[in-house]
Amino acid sequence: MANELRFDGRVAVVTGAGNGVGRSHALLLASRGAKVVVNDLGGSRHGEGKSSAAADSVVAEIKAAGGEAVANYDSVEDGGKIVQNALDTFGGVDIVVNNAGILRDVSFHKMTVQDWDLVYRVHLNGTFRVTHAAWPHMREKGYGRVVMTASASGIYGNFGQANYSAAKLGIYGFANSLTIEGRTKNLHVNTIAPVAGSRMTETMMPKEVVEIIKSEYVSPLVAYLCHESCQETGGLFEVGGGWVTKLRWERTKGHGFNPKLPFTPEDIAGKWDRIVDFTNADHPVTTEDSVQAVLVNLKSK
């Protein structure tokens, strides 16, 4: 294909690549020339057990198609071992796709500390562990592409997913700061909130929907975000079923009270319509943008 986006010479770590969306990312990157570490612990969707079968079968698929890949069976909680595998086998790491995930869905009043901890450990802490191990190598090279996997549940909330929502939006917060730290070193960090029919979602969606929302529809965006030509960083994207879109923060004009004078809960109530009115809303992108509005109010009174 003319102008094909290629990954020759690049090493990609894809976590949770034995099934679903991660498998699809690994296959696409490998088909475009990347050397791929196919990481998968091989446990159940609830995070129980482990097996080498899932990662092995994806590596076999990649090799059968003429690509290069190595299987890794470590948990993302041992992110250092996964990155070491990339260094030992392929001599570096250029791309990290943090994708591994589990669910422990239960309404909050029934949620155990174990349900909370395991979801946190795999999603937020696992994402941290893998990225933390790869980051110094990418900085040294002056090149890196990181994709985080969040979820609509984190962005909007979802019944029975307080643990998962917290971890998933935590991942986005993590990405926001890494974006700032990575920018001058050509390290780009983006976050996706995918929707796909997989073993994770097969009990949540009708069967006919699971069959048509293919994991393969998520991977073209991930591959583009991982490409050297892509200058996007700090983005948050919803992606699934062939639909790709970007999200941003929106802030109302608000109301500025005079901070030199006392103002009361009743004053807040009196201005409530204005405080929550999104007409002509702003779209702050930095912490400085946020603080600026406060300073402007302080100085204008």
Looking at 7, 11, 12, 18, which residue binds ligand NAI (CB under 6 A)?
18
Which residues make Cβ contacts (< 8 Å) with residue 11, sequence separation at least 6? 34, 35, 36, 37, 86, 90, 91, 92, 93, 94, 95
- Residue that is written with structure tokens 């943008």 in the block: 289
Which residues make Cβ contacts (< 8 Å) with residue 83, sequence separation at least 6? 13, 93, 130, 133, 134, 137
Which residues make Cβ contacts (< 8 Å) with residue 31, sequence separation at least 6? 62, 65, 67
CA distance 181 to 145: 13
What is the side-by-side order of every strand in the sheet holding 144-149? Answer: 68-72, 35-39, 11-14, 95-97, 144-149, 187-194, 236-240, 243-247
Residue with smaller CB distance to ligand NAI, 54 or 71: 54
CA distance 77 to 64: 30
101 near ligand NAI, rule: CB under 6 A: yes
- Tell me, residue by residue from 144 to 183, as one string, x for binding to ligand NAI by CB under 6 A and - for no binding: -----x-x--------------------------------
Residue with smaller CB distance to ligand NAI, 13 or 187: 13
Beta carbon of residue 7, minimum distance to ligand NAI (angstroms, whole number): 20
Q: Which SS3 state, helix, strand or coil, does residue 261 take?
A: coil
Handedness of CA 108, 111, 113, 119 (dihedral sign): negative
Beta carbon of residue 197, minimum distance to ligand NAI (angstroms, whole number): 7
Q: CB under 6 A: which stretch of 190-198, 223-231, 260-268, 277-285 binds ligand NAI?
A: 190-198
- 139 and 126 in contact (C-beta within 8 Å)? no
Beta carbon of residue 266, minimum distance to ligand NAI (angstroms, whole number): 42
Helices (H), 121-251: 126-141, 152-156, 162-182, 207-212, 219-225
22 near ligand NAI, rule: CB under 6 A: yes
Beta carbon of residue 128, minimum distance to ligand NAI (angstroms, whole number): 13
102 near ligand NAI, rule: CB under 6 A: yes
Looking at 67, 79, 92, 126, which residue binds ligand NAI (CB under 6 A)?
126
Phi, psi of 25 (to 5 degrees): -60, -45
Binders in 29-58 for ligand NAI, by CB under 6 A = 39-43, 45, 47, 54
Q: CB under 6 A: which stretch of 73-81, 128-136, 219-227, 255-263 binds ligand NAI?
A: 73-81
Residue with smaller CB distance to ligand NAI, 43 or 80: 43
Looking at 34, 59, 85, 99, which residue binds ligand NAI (CB under 6 A)?
99
- Residue that is written with structure tokens 């490998």 in the block: 30
- Tell me, residue by residue from 191 to 220, as one string, x for binding to ligand NAI by CB under 6 A and - for no binding: ---xxx-xxxx-------------------
Q: CA torsion 93→94→97→98, rounded to 10°?
A: 50
DSSP 251: B
Beta carbon of residue 27, minimum distance to ligand NAI (angstroms, whole number): 13
21 near ligand NAI, rule: CB under 6 A: yes
Which residues of this chain interact with ligand NAI, rule CB under 6 A? 15-16, 18-22, 39-43, 45, 47, 54, 75-77, 99-102, 122, 126, 149, 151, 194-196, 198-201
